[in-house]
Structure 1
């Protein structure tokens, strides 16, 4: 399976936190699965860190570089941005970072590892 971590799942996975579900933990540990992280999660982490809403043991650049292998990082590409209009109005999910993750997952046929129930109405596969 090809998995895209949402930002919270990434933070919990790196911290080996209890918030990560057993199913998510199992899928992430499965060596047959490919795990990806969107550059949108990097942006979200940097913004939250500098607003004082996220604590990290070091600067976000250093943390992200240590946490995410370069070959696992997915750029937000033009098709993702143009696909946002197909998601409809932000009614169900207003978070722009999550909406970019949904667009990327849809384009690349990835399952999203997330505890956020607001992803499901968009037709992407959710692992939790």
Structure 2
């Protein structure tokens, strides 16, 4: 599962990714997952002007999901319960949801966020 910034880097700045992360994302035998929390986070950041997208958000997301045949992971009640009960190492609600989904679905998370290592999940570092 890709953390939000990992997905953006893979799409627009692949040179920032480590060779291992690039290979994993490019390998068509791997399923690439993205939390719907990441989509929500991008929308908010775009509205606030914290990120700039090359096209309207409502066009950007569906077209970019197709690039790596990305599979969105919907937020379920069990994901919300896990996110709400995680230790408070991470305060960002979007990251807490990504962590909860990775934990619940037993998926490694490709991320550069060092705080993720404080949780009992598999993290694959993505930065060069």
Whether these two folds match at TM > 0.5 is yes
Go from structure 1 to structure 2 and tell me whether the alpha carbon gap of 1:106 and 1:87 turns closer, same or farther (over 3 Å shift): same
The one of 53, 58, 77 equivalent to 2:55 is 58
Taking the TM superposition and a 5 Å limit, the aligned residue runs for 1:26-105 are 26-69=23-66, 72-88=71-87, 90=88, 92-105=89-102
Deviation at 1:31, TM superposition (A): 2.4
Residue 117 (structure 2) pairs with residue 120 (structure 1): yes
C-alpha separation in 2, matches of 1:66 and 1:110? 24
State the match for 1:11 in structure 2.
8
3-state DSSP of counterpart to 2:52: coil
C-alpha separation in 2, matches of 1:99 and 1:123? 12
* Contact 2:32 2:70 (8 Å CA) reproduced: no
In the TM superposition, what whole-angstrom CA distance separates every residue of 1:22-68 from its partner, at most 9, and x where no partner exists? 21111112222211011000100000000000000111121110111
How many residues are treated as equivalent by the alignment? 123
Deviation at 1:71, TM superposition (A): 6.5
3-state DSSP of counterpart to 1:68: helix
3-state DSSP of counterpart to 1:32: coil
Listed as ranges, the gaps of 5+ residues in structure 1 are none
Listed as ranges, the gaps of 5+ residues in structure 2 are none
Give me the TM-score of the superposition, normalised by structure 2: 0.89
The one of 21, 25, 32 equivalent to 1:24 is 21
